[in-house]
Amino acid sequence: ANTFPVQSGAVFAVETQSAGGGPIAFAAPVNVRVQYIARTAPTDTDVCDFSGTPGQPALMRTVQSNYDLTNGTNFQYVDRPQTVNLGEGTVTVEGLTNLTGPSGVSLIGAVVDTRVTAITTERLIQYLLGQTALSLAERNGADRNSDGRVDAADLVRQINGP
């Protein structure tokens, strides 16, 4: 089970209730933005993976866990396109479905995505020319400017460096 890194504060709880006050699942799509704070001290930064290992802010991704008293938490990456705004220190995911499950409670946060796969410049050019497809992990790695799109700007950044 993936627990949230102890040092990170980039997590919040969502609770949904029926008009009568009981828990209710919420499945309609919503947009979610998680703020993180990048600190230089490795033990104080929100920019870390599940194990607490610091990483790069551009690799921050949204994670979610339904919560129940029996099983606790098990955070999973939200597998939808995401945008990292390095200036604001935010990660945004649009159209997140199943915000809460039957318990009516969900925890949402952001961690460094260790599943991101770096791609070569040649492969990025092939993708931009429509000659090949990229997996979600490759798209996350190719989105060098973290704007939620893989485009020519990412190619320029890859060639010129960060």
- Distance (Å, rounded) from C-alpha 68 to C-alpha 114? 26
Residue 119: per-residue pLDDT: 83
Residue 162: per-residue pLDDT: 55
In tens digits, what is the pLDDT along the chain, a chain of 162 residues? Answer: 789 999 999 999 999 999 999 999 999 999 999 999 999 888 899 999 999 999 888 889 999 998 767 777 899 999 888 888 888 999 999 999 999 988 899 999 999 998 877 788 999 999 999 999 998 878 878 888 777 789 999 999 888 865
| Contact assessment for residue 150 and residue 128, using Cβ atoms and an 8 Å cutoff | yes
Q: Which residue is it, tokens 């690799």?
A: 59
